[in-house]
Structure 1
Amino acid sequence: MRISVIGVGYLGAVHAAAMADLGHTVVGVDVDEAKIAALSEARAPFFEPGLPDLLASATASGRLRFTTDFAAVADADVHFVAVGTPQSADGDAADLRFVDAAFASLLEHVSPGDVIVGKSTVPVGTASRLAQVVAERAPGATLAWNPEFLREGFAVKDTVSPDRLVYGVPEGEAGARAARILDEVYASAVAAGTPVIVTDYATAELVKVAANAFLATKISFINAMAEIAEVTGADVTQLADAIGHDARIGRRFLNAGVGFGGGCLPKDIRAFSARARELGRGDSVRFLDEVDKINLRRRDRVVELVREECGGLEGVRVAVLGLAFKPHSDDIRDSPALDIAMRLADGGAVVTATDPEAIANARRRAPQLAFVESAAEAAAGADIVVLITEWPEFTGLDPEELGALVSHRVVVDGRNALDAERWRSAGWRFRGLGR
């Protein structure tokens, strides 16, 4: 099929490359000239495993190209809008300026019969509003909403082989036709038996934010249990193992630590709460405010642990392992790791930080920190080591070898990702969260 993707940031670039890999002819459009130039040369502007190879093969085949010219979308029949919806500068609500601008530019070039597909995460009610705009400015075109469920670090796999497909479409034949076209777009996934949920606009919008809210709640729940464990002597990791055997609960994402970050969960739950208040239903999701507070408190706790172990922060040499908000990513948006590193430095600590992929991004955000390329360099002469992003490069460290480099064998495991007994046996004082 002939597809356009409007907005080629993280979501859009992956989607465009994956669609081309599936055999479609795709043009990606963005106003960012530098981003378009990089993608046109098959260079990913961010780290995502598998994406560089996908870009290289898709552009070489001629099925994928990138441009800043919106007129290029006129050759496509299906148009995906994948621009960002950041948190507003003056509140918790989502900033929809980029979505509205993308639709305004796109609608100048669509034709009757085209299907416009929203993929951006938006407040419920946005699709219905935009459908009216489409009807007024591009009669004969149809709007569908197809939320994304990508995990950074696994985005290529999640696009090519999703665990479910959700289509929000209007009633009647126009909606039925849009669903059929989306089935063609995702033909390989549909043929593989991927569940397809065809629903209305509002439900499709809510599926995305509800999924993020549930995940955030589960993470903050186990972190709340970690707070209780720390004052009672319980071990939150064993607690999670025990309750995780209950099939109604499950063990996944019951890992206590510094909590969630990134460009989705924090801003999405805040936007969800803001939208609920606008709808007069703020009480329904008021618990999300506490979910957010618990999440942020865990960052405070890591700083407190370093202060406790070192008798203060002034002049303490801290090795910070991890800067990205999660492993297999270079994303530092609302990263607990970078936030903690900056708080330690602000408190007077001498911070040396490392990360396999996120150093360049972190250096732009926090030039006051010292950055090195390896855990060994970070640990040299350190008074305390703090693991905050659970990269395999860090969780697989040999405590004996690392112990030969530090000034004091003290480690704070901000992700409960290390073998505590192994580190203690190597002479380390070990502090975990909720352990």
Structure 2
Amino acid sequence: MPTFADLGLPQAVVGVLAGNGIDTPFPIQAATLPDSLAGRDVLGRGRTGSGKTFAFLLPMVTRLTASKTTRSPGRPRALILAPTRELVAQIDASLAPLATATGLRSVTIFGGVSPAPQIQKLRQGVDIVIACPGRLEDHVKSRHADLSAIEITVLDEADHMADLGFLPPVKRLLDKTPRDGQRMLFSATLDGGVDVLVKRYLTNPVVHSVDSEQSPVAAMEHHVLHVDKASRIHVLADLAASPGRTIVFARTKHGAKNLARQLNSRGVPAVELHGNLSQNARTRNLTAFSDGTAAVMVATDIAARGIHVDDVSLVVHADPPVEHKAYLHRSGRTARAGADGTVVTLMIDEQVSDVRQLTRKAGVKPTVTRFSGSSHPVLTQIAPGEREFGKPIIASRPEPTKPQQPRSHQPRRRRPARGRRPANV
């Protein structure tokens, strides 16, 4: 296996990687770097956790550093599009030490926060924009961002962007980038909407398929627990209270909020992650999960797209997903970078047929255990260790509201009757 220095990366970049204990490329990095460093369009397929982020950041930083162009106000030189705010933030965190070492500037752009700081950074001039499509399109329309100087474009988690309905804004944004720029697309699957993007925007791409869509299942233990409705939350709490980090998946935002509340009420510190939370709450909850303040995160599919948190030992599908691709994506939150992991699906009577079809399509042969009641020896086999029940965590409290003014005892003034406004007002 070649080293990063062998692949031709600048010494400053190699030094940053070595300082973080990264000496040997992951397979997808070793496969794609020779072509991406040469400026070729690259189509990389690799599952989440396979090292895709550095596979596009390293050639981007290298090529921008060597480029004779310079950054200018409102005209970035490189663009990375990703489906969620959390993934944008994580890409930026991976980029930060590389950018510092090479003198590059970046900005993250997504909704749910004030656009003013983003606009300010664009005006000052940045080399790299890492963005969710919607908010970036707003900046383009308001002429705060001009994509005509983009030299390198990356689409990360392209299949998830297609699933989430981002294709129209992605196309509009890509149409504003130069046709002769380098384009790299990374995805776990290469079907449907992804194929449309490949044919329209990539020129003679070099295809590197490092692992198949179903490859992550090999490193995991898969279990299906056939439980009754009444015992579902008790079984979930037992698993969630086991040692290590656990991600619980719910199908809806309301379901995620409700499950997090029920786990906390049972002494299992849990945070929620879904689209109904403000960006500050999402960031706060993800931080609590990452730093160990809460060992359990209850999330929806959309909120968890691309999230990378180390050492997740257990994934629980509290609500079985509808599609096998969602099963593989959810399950990919564990068994990352060569580690082991366990995946549990909770199934009630009316879900038997759907779950059987789901696991078959995902290429999984789970161990199925049926039991009634809330306890069974299989729970400690799946998630060994002493259960810990502590204080509940409230990391997603709603935004503060204005305190209500005390009611006055003065009689209320009658409002004037509504009438039609004059035409000149």
TM over 0.5: no
TM-score (norm. length: structure 2) = 0.30
More helix by share: 1
TM-score (norm. length: structure 1) = 0.29
**Greater RCO (Cα-Cα under 8 Å, separation 6 or more):** 2
